[in-house]
Structure 1
Amino acid sequence: MDAGSHSISSGKSSAAAAVQRPPLQEAGSRPYMPPLSTTSRNPAAKCYGDRFIPDRSAMDMDMAHYLLTETKKDKENAAAIAASPSKEAYRRLLAEKLLNNRTRILAFRNKPPEPENVFAADTVSSHQAKPAKQRRYIPQSAERTLDAPDLVDDYYLNLMDWGSSNVLSIALGDTMYLWDASSGSTSELVTVEEDNGPITSVSWAPDGRHLAIGLNSSDIQLWDTSSNRLLRTLKGVHESRVGSLAWNNNILTTGGMDGRIVNNDVRIRDHAVQTYQGHSQEVCGLKWSGSGQQLASGGNDNLLHIWDVSMASSMPSAGRNQWLHRLEDHMAAVKALAWCPFQSNLLATGGGGSDRCIKFWNTHTGACLNSVDTGSQNQLTLWKYPSMVKMAELTGHTSRVLFMAQSPDGCTVASAAADETLR
């Protein structure tokens, strides 16, 4: 596609560029992913019944009857006959046909296993019957690759988000696109005026219906995506572009290049209700904790701040609120922020190219719990927590990965890179 196009077309990384497609159309069918096996038996394990049924055709019924009914006199007569030289032929015949054939009595065609160690055999059989633990299926290539022309190559912006309604929003230049992951359909929400653009940040509200868009002009737009209607525009919040956004119920928190962080209550006319000021450079990362009690902010000044709502000033006009923690361990801009979903006071942060570290923090005490140098080079890496062992590396991007977003069910991640592809 030509670089000036505002549409997104899907395709496989090499030949697709020559074929024009509708924006964000699915490149191909989803590859089959086999489900985890639910088989509870090991087909190689032998299975034996709890008893054996004799095969009557394998038994000598005449000999069995004779041995059960013979009397003492019969035994003495048989011994006498056997000792008689004149009866040598009879004795030999009796031995061949009867006495040497007693092993056939109660014989079975299928003999049971040797019972020398029943307990050990049962234990081995029980272990063999259990299926091997299945590892998570992780594909080694992208399920879809979409062309993303005009994607702004700026590490400090936040141009992609995946909402709770399973709709992915991505800004390409001055245009905001919506891609419905359930149906694969694409729509264009808005193209902002050139004087206001480009779009510099985007964030879905928790309801998955309302979308906040930050602009280079410092304005913030609120959209109802169900009706494609602009609800309101917040002006005068910042002095320059708005590069980061985060929702906390009805509060939209905005971070600007001016270093200011502002809480905006979108329900009221005078929306700016609180200001956090602690960064000396652009605020490039914002994330509220799951409880809504703490806010993490990262800036181009390499600083990480933790703000607590209990410390917020009761007078918005005071202009500033004191941070709970000011953390200076990162050696580059702090953009990547993620709160642990099962431990409210655990925060993970990622530093820029001169840092490359993932750090884990106890936000109650401000202690750094762990730091891992990722050595990232244009790939996505899946880590196992808390061991931080690499589970997989997802390659395909040929330039640095700028933006990532996770699907609502937590099973899929979308990434957009400076190579102008979305995977």
Structure 2
Amino acid sequence: MKLAGLKSVDNAHDDSVWAVAWVPATSSRSPLLLTGSLDETVRLWSSDELVLDNTSTGHFLGVASVAAHPLGTIAASSSLDSFVRIFDVDSNATIATLEAPPSEVWQLRFDPKGAILAAAGGASASVKLWDTTTWEVVADLAIPWPEGPKPAEKNSSKKFVLSVAWSPDGQRLACGSVDGAISVFDVARAKFLHHLEGHTMPVRSLVYSPREPRLLFSASDDAQVHMYDAEGKTLVGAMSGHASWVLCVDVTPGGEAIATGSSDKTVRLWDLGMRASVQTMSNHTDQVWGVAFRPPEPGGNRVRGGRLASVSEDKSISLYDYS
């Protein structure tokens, strides 16, 4: 696979852009790009031209994460103000406002069927799950300590939760923490299963492979990208190449490759067979907070070209073609 730069938008927001996600196409419109910023706004952009479609407000601190329902009709944004806003993509109307005290929410993810929204609760050391029909909390998954000596302070920041990812079948949820541990849960039973070890610093991003459901990718401040057999509890491979923190990771819809963004200001494309970085893009002038591959269109239509988007501390968005 290879990336080719298509378009970049400087000053896409008034402050750092921390979050990016694709809103899937519906029967009445093409996919949209969703971004969230430290400027407290969420913005929607046309899929290929990166023309601003809509700007929504409502948060009182920076937007840390955005997520889109798999049907493309609703989306969610979370902020350091500890609130999650659920809104209609086309009308921008607020559907629900969810409270997630006592902590900010660092990452949101809808499950593959769109029935549950998961939120990594930062210092609350837990992941909250909301039913997307009633918007009631259906589970609050506490992150347990890894085996070994426990910190003396019960409220130690080492359990701070930064990232979440759903398995393709929606049966497992993986959560990354500041201490480098990854916790895996059985969602139906709301039960902790095991930890995945190997990172030594915060795990800021996680994503499961759509092609190999047991395969989980992680991005960490230790500058490593890991591949795990999330069921077998084994580290399959560790990939290095970034010069600094790896802040985000996403996988292509077909599972052939992954992309990462880093505080070294680059986006990298990784060949999973070679387990190595095969291309580096330097469109941004500051750290890259988010990367996201556009999902396939309904009905399996893959005529449209593959797209990757990245967002940065430098307030910009970049769009790439991949083939």
TM-score (structure 2 length as normaliser): 0.77
Does 1:206 pair with 2:73? no
Cα distance in structure 2, aligned partners of 1:285 and 1:346: 16
Q: 1:1-400 counterparts in 2 under 5 A? A: 138-139=3-4, 141-152=5-16, 159-165=19-25, 166-172=31-37, 173-182=39-48, 184-192=50-58, 196-235=60-99, 237-248=100-111, 249-257=114-122, 258-268=124-134, 271-278=136-143, 280-312=158-190, 321=191, 323-352=192-221, 355-376=222-243, 377-400=264-287
- Name which of structure 1's ranges 284-293 and 174-183 shifts more when overlaid on structure 2: 174-183
TM-score when normalising by structure 1: 0.59
**SS of residue paired to 1:413:** strand
AA of the residue aligned to 2:36: A
| Structure 2 alignment gaps of length 5 or more | 26-30, 145-157, 244-263, 297-304, 319-323
Deviations 1:69-99 (A, max 9, x none): xxxxxxxxxxxxxxxxxxxxxxxxxxxxxxx
Identify, as 1 or 2, the structure richer in helix.
1
Task: State percent identity of aligned pairs.
Answer: 23
How many residues get paired?
A: 268
How far, CA to CA, are the matches of 2:271 and 2:197 in structure 1? 26
- Mapped partners of 1:247, 1:407: distance in 2: 16
CA distance in structure 2 between the partners assigned to 1:184 and 1:362 by the alignment? 36
Q: Comparing both structures, which one devotes a greater share of its residues to strand? A: 2
The question of 1:416 aligning with 2:311 is answered: yes
C-alpha spacing 1:142/1:356, structure 2 compared with 1 (3 Å): farther
Which gives a bigger RCO, structure 1 or 2 (Cα 8 Å, sep 6+)?
Answer: 2
8 Å contact kept, 1:189–1:225: no
Deviations 1:279-316 (A, max 9, x none): 6433221110111011111122221111122542xxxx
Does the CA contact (< 8 Å) of 1:197 and 1:216 recur in 2? yes
Per-residue CA deviation, residues 107-164 of structure 1 (Å, 9 max, x unaligned), is xxxxxxxxxxxxxxxxxxxxxxxxxxxxx5542x4533332343347xxxx5211121
Deviation, 1:223, is 0.2
* Distance of 1:256 and 1:272 partners within structure 2: 13
Write the distance in 2 (CA, Å) between the matches of 1:137 and 1:285.
27
- The 8 Å contact of residues 175 and 188 in structure 1, kept in 2 or not, is answered as no
Structure 1 outlier segments of 4+, above 4 Å: none
**Residue 183 of structure 1: CA displacement?**
5.9
After superposition, the C-alpha distances for 1:399-418 in whole angstroms (9 at most, x for unaligned) are: 22111111124822111122
RMSD of aligned alpha carbons: 2.1
Q: Which amino acid aligns with 1:240?
A: S
SS of equivalent to 1:337: strand
Provide closer, same or farther for how the CA distance between residues 200 and 184 of structure 1 changes in structure 2, counting only shifts above 3 A. closer
The one-letter code sitting in structure 1 at the alignment partner of 2:177 is: G
Q: Deviations over 1:33-75 (max 9, x none)?
A: xxxxxxxxxxxxxxxxxxxxxxxxxxxxxxxxxxxxxxxxxxx
Gaps of 5+ in 1: 1-135, 313-320
